[in-house]
Structure 1
Amino acid sequence: MPSYDEIYAHLERHVDDLKTNKTGDERQTDAEVFDKQTLLVIYDFMTAGYVDSVHYTISTGKEGNVFYVTDEDDEPFALKIFRTSTSTFKRVSKYIEGDPRFKGLCGNRRKLIYAWTNKEFKNLQRYHVNGIRVPEPIEFEKNCLLMEYIGDKNGPAPQLKDAELKRPNMTYKECISFIVDGYKKAHLIHGDLSEYNILMWKDKPVLIDCGQALTSDHFNAKDFLMRDINNINRFFKNKGVDIIDPEEILEKTMNGSEKQ
């Protein structure tokens, strides 16, 4: 195993954000994302052949940043790095209180973030194998999640809120299908669905940010479903789309769903 100094020297050649001159605030932000443990994970991804270079930030979110990365064949992927800071820990904690899968982790910040990364990976897998359009998950380790890149070399796919919708009525139905099929086929409720957590690529919506998604047997499933429905209806109503009654969508979603 090479020393950390040797690993860091290797990473400096392959991680663009470690090469550039930045302001003090920018360096502090980088330090929050690229802490020592995270850099070691990136190095593991490199030695395993998943990643050759980390290029630039695709998006900055509440829990972490997503980076445009490429492998040795210059194929693009997205690398999501969850921050292990206190603020991220507090936000994530709100979503898992009372969840038996996280029992014993609530007091351990780093282990909780690692479990959250694992959860998003598994949620993406569950959506993907059931035909819900999400970035295909590739690999995860600790606070790093590698997945399919949605976009091209000119840039990432835009969020729904920023996209020019050629077929808004069809896009609306497809977004509603994320709710209905996600519940019936994948047995998941996104729980934070909005125009911010959907990308538009090749005139098709793609569901993202699935870490907080809950299983359909959650005691508060109905409330989370209704929140997702209302968020989608609100957005498309403002676009002039004739929306479906929320209670009708809820009935279609929950009625006849297969049991886990």
Structure 2
Amino acid sequence: MQAVTLSLYRFDSLATRLWAFGQMATARFALKALPEIGFFKLCGSGTGEGFTPIPNTGVYAILATWPDAGTARRVMAEARVFRRYASVSSESCTLYLGSRSARGAWSGQAPFETSDAPIDGPIAALTRATLKPSIALRFWRRVPDISQVIGEDPNVMFKIGVGEVPLLHQVTFSIWPDAATMAAFARADGPHARAIRAVREERWFSEELYARFSVDDVTGTWDGRVPLQTTKKA
């Protein structure tokens, strides 16, 4: 069954940040050379937890699909490109995911092969959108309010925003204890629900994808903690 990985890397010094920035242009060639890798994207991040239009030169991500989890683990442990990212970064974390539902497209592709296997544990939500340039300012005005609401929700276990192109390509990723708590947040009236209505009514996106995953494993830490252990107490 297809496995999906989201690898996060943090870079502290100026030298390592410059290295990571350069990899946005060059690492794609090393990744394309891996015969086992499927769809992949190199992403940067915004400041804070990534939900801002101001680039964060210290956080980068690699999302990839693989034939199965065993292949993902083996290649990421052996391939020079992944080993180099891990050695240069000051902190790294990889989430191993199983796709359960997906609709929409990413760069004209449907990258995730879904399974109807039940999710026994946390559920991850990923949204990816290409913003129409004419509405980018309106979109980013809403994002801080949405981020604050998610951050204040006692159920969210982890959240981060990344993207391929600043301002116009946005990826949001969050982990929830179960589908019910995730759905309750999505349905609740507030900045998030109002933004979703605006997206639909005003057609903000030229391309969009929504996917849900099981969280099968996590290696490494982020902000000194394992993401699945960061549930806030009410």
TM-score, structure 1 normalization: 0.29
- Using CA pairs under 8 Å that are at least 6 residues apart, name the structure with larger relative contact order, 1 or 2: 2
Q: Which has the larger radius of gyration?
A: 1
TM-score, structure 2 normalization: 0.31
